[in-house]
Amino acid sequence: MDISGVIDYLIGFTIMAIIYAIFALGLNVHWGFTGLFNIGIAGFFALGAYTAALLTSPPPDPDQFEDFIFGGDLANQGLLDLGVDAWFFLGLAAAAVVCGLVALIVGTITLRLNDDYLSIATLGIAESVRFFFLNEKWAANGSKGLYRIPKFLGDVVAPENYDYLYVVVALVILLILFAAVQRAVRSPWGRVLRAIREDEVATAASGKNVFHFKLQSFVFGAMIMGIGGALFAHHVRFLSPLTFDPLLATFVIWAMLMVGGSGNNLGAVLGAFVVWGVWAGTQFLPGVFSDPSFRLLMIGVLIVAIMLLRPGGLLGEWRRIVASRPASAAARDSTDPG
Amino acid sequence: MTDSSPILQVCNVTKDFGGVRAVDRCTLDVMPGTITGLIGPNGAGKTTLFNLAAGDLSPTSGQILFDGMVISGLQPHQTFSRGLMRTFQIPRELRRMTVLENLMLVPARQSGERLWSTWLTPWKVARQERQIQARALDVLELVNLSHLANELAGNLSGGQKKLLELARTLMAKPKMVLLDEPGAGINRTLLRDLSANIVRASVERNVTFLIIEHDMRFVMTMCDPVIVMANGSVISEGTPSAIQRDPQVLEAYLGGRISGPA
């Protein structure tokens, strides 16, 4: 591999790491800040990806024996003939809205109950979404998948250089989402979420409507995941239900958050790069070591190592420090520690 | 005692846990402005009564009225917004949050609690945060925890956690506070501070207190009237001295004379 080949590879790697960083951010809202045990990230991943893909793909081609009903291609329909590039953004927004609505319904049903019910429900949703797209051929071409998902700004650069453009697009979207999440979790809103994570009863006794805040957190995190899914669809430009197996669409994202540091947004992003680095890097190992199951084992080893050496992840949770008042120095000297 | 109507009325309330009747046709009134004591042997149903009043549990039968309105069956955040706050016997501090954050959580209707406000009007949120922070630092000074403002609440000692529970109630403007064993595990010096804070809140801000406490010296000096519960219902009520002479109360405490620290 020559040097430009290496750079091309690294760019492709970075795009995937950025997309995973977006999922890790969404999971951080759920788990890191609110303590919502979402083990069905794959469901929102798939919904976001399929939503964006169906809205922007060309209509089904009978010559290819495609017979799914909704060909989308809204980009070239008369009513909203804005072109593919505008529809890229509308697809992103639609992915967020669809995931948000599903989260709203699932959350309304399960978030009043014990924590366990949310995990069961999210796991169930993820598998249902996958099997829906697998078995209901009319919806999105079943196991043959969607493979004509258009590029965003595809006319602007030559195909062989396209990833250089898309990495910038993905990075900009990551930065926007990062800023939005960061602002939200460091505000009083985020303070209520962290309080819920620590103790729901105490948070309710402090006058907060725990259910409402949990629902907001669940919907917000799911919308971020939807955007991640949409970005993924326009990057790989081929979706089949097999893409969204629990291993690479849920487990790996949990690994990223645990390694990077739950409750720390920078940690979530760092964890995405580290874990995706281990996953992608191990494929170059010789012989049996490049076997997918061995590579997965390496992620497991990484999690165990982090849990033993740095239980809070590479970057621990951020803590707000307030300058103490000069007057309180006197109080300190006179206070008898309890 | 004032001659106005009671601020808290417990009317014939019963609470069953499976086969166990924790509160049994309990009826009691708390008059506004008082510091009322609630004592009784372990298992008398005192904490369950707090859980029922604050909305952590719903009664099996009976009603609880606060300020003339039925509150039994409401959620905890709803009783809070009507001006009824409670603390916990075993402190429920928010462990991985700082002491200051534990307090800054409490004030109601913070504009920054709306997700869109954190993005669209961050300056408003920041201004309100400065006010809330100033108030939280004031409250910390009041309970002598200023030096621990940035400490994680989970690292506090047992007594300091008790003070933090009290500090939480000082962050809001409740009409009434239910204190569940505020003095347990607190040394004498801190207990004096605690009593002073309760009296100050009672006198200056007209907060009504209902206090569960096993430290009899604390109850007998702080509280008037004192209500005694045993086996889920009220067996006696009156001034501290009257309670100490009540034979029923003495019997409930296994025939012992009420004196000194329990």
Residue B137 and residue A328: Cβ atoms within 8 Å?
yes
Rg of chain B over all Cα atoms, to the nearest angstrom: 19
What does the pLDDT read at residue A293?
85
For the CA atoms of A17, A22, A24, A30, the dihedral, rounded to the nearest 10 degrees, stands at -170
Cβ distance of B77 and A209 shorter than 8 Å: yes
Here the tokens at position B33 are 């402005």
Structure ipTM: 0.90
Alpha-carbon distance A45 to A223, whole Å? 10
A-chain residue closest to B164, CA distance: A338
Under 8 Å between Cβ of B49 and B229: yes
State the burial class of residue A149 (Cβ atoms within 10 Å of its Cβ: 0-12, 13-18, 19+).
Answer: buried
d(CA A172, CA B64): 56
Contacts of B117 in chain A (CB under 8 A): 187
pLDDT of residue A124: 92
Distance from CA of B244 to the nearest CA of A (A): 31
Within a domain: residue A153? Answer: yes
Q: Which residues of B touch A189 (CB under 8 A)?
A: 112-115, 118
The shortest CB-CB distance from A337 to any of B101, B108, B157 is to B157
Residue A218's domain comprises 3-245
Chain B: residue nearest A316 by CA? B96
pLDDT tens digits along B232-261: 999 999 999 898 888 888 888 755 555 544
How, if at all, do strands B84-86 and B176-180 pair? parallel
Mean pLDDT (chain A) is: 86
Can you list the alpha helix ranges (DSSP code H) found in A136-209?
137-140, 162-185, 188-198, 200-205
Do B97 and A206 form a contact (C-beta atoms < 8 A)? no
Predicted local distance difference test score (pLDDT) of residue A334: 41
Does residue A254 belong to any structural domain of this protein? no
The structural domain count of chain A equals 1
The b-or-e profile of A255-291 (16+ CB within 10 A means b, else e) is bbbbbbbbbbbebbbbbbbbbbebbbebeeeeeeeee
From the list A269, A85, A110, A83, the residue with the least C-alpha distance to A175 is A269
A194 with B157: Cβ contact below 8 A:
no
* 3-state class (DSSP) for residue A240: coil
- From the number of C-beta atoms within 10 Å of its C-beta (0-12, 13-18, 19+), residue B195 rates as middle
Q: Is-contact A313 A306, C-beta < 8 A?
A: yes
Whether residue B77 and residue A204 make contact (CB cut-off 8 A), yes or no, is yes
Which residues of chain B fall short of a pLDDT of 70? 1-3, 254-262
Residue B56 and residue A206: Cβ atoms within 8 Å?
A: no
A278 in a structural domain: no
Contact (CB<8Å) B189/A336: yes
Residue A1's pLDDT is 58
- So where are chain B's domains? 1-93+172-262, 96-155
A chain contacts of residue B173, beta-carbon cutoff 8 Å:
none
Would you state the pLDDT for residue A218?
97
How far, CA to CA in Å, does A235 sit from each of A82, A150, A230, A269, B233? 21, 9, 9, 19, 68
In a domain, A207, yes or no: yes
Average pLDDT of chain B?
Answer: 90
Question: What is the rounded distance in angstroms from the CA atom of residue B45 to the CA atom of residue B23?
Answer: 5
Polymer length in residues for chain A: 338
- Of the partner residues B88, B93, B157, the one whose CB lies closest to the CB of residue A338: B157
CB pairs under 8 A between A and B: 148
Q: Please name the member of B81, B97, B187 whose beta carbon is closest to the beta carbon of A194.
A: B97
The C-alpha angle with vertex A234 and arms to A230 and A239, in degrees rounded to 5, equals 80
For the domain bounded by B1-93+172-262, which CATH number is listed? Answer: 3.40.50.300
Q: Is A212 on the interface with B (CB under 8 A)?
A: no
Count other C-beta atoms under 10 Å from residue A138's C-beta.
Answer: 11
Residue pair B62/B53 in contact by the 8 Å Cβ criterion: no
Tell me if A333 is assigned to some domain. no
- Inter-chain residue contact B97 with A184, CB threshold 8 Å: no
Kindly list the residues from chain B whose CB atom is less than 8 angstroms away from the CB atom of residue A208.
77, 105, 113
Name the strands in the sheet holding B69-70, side by side, starting at the edge strand that comes first in the sequence: B20-30, B8-17, B61-66, B69-70
Q: Which residues of chain A have pLDDT under 50?
A: 327-338
Q: Is residue A75 part of a domain?
A: yes
Interface contact B100-A322, CB threshold 8 A:
yes
Distance between A7 CA and the closest CA of chain B, angstroms: 37
pTM of the full structure = 0.90
Residue B142 is predicted with a pLDDT of 85
Q: What is the DSSP string of A32-97?
A: IIT------HHHHHHHHHHHHHHHHSPPP-GGGT---S----GGGSSTT---HHHHHHHHHHHHHH
pLDDT at A206: 94
* Residue B37 confidence (pLDDT): 95
Looking up tokens 């979420």, which residue turns up?
A193
For an interface test with B, which of A189, A194, A219 has the most B Cβ atoms less than 10 Å from its Cβ? Answer: A189
Give the pLDDT of residue A319. Answer: 77
Three-state secondary-structure class, residue B230: strand
CA-nearest of A226, A234, A242 to A135 is A242
- Give the per-residue pLDDT at A326: 53
Nearest to B148 by CA among A263, A188, A322, A191: A322
Among A93, A254, A84, which residue's Cα sits nearest to residue A177? A93
> Could you give phi then psi for residue B28, rounded to 5 degrees?
-155, 155
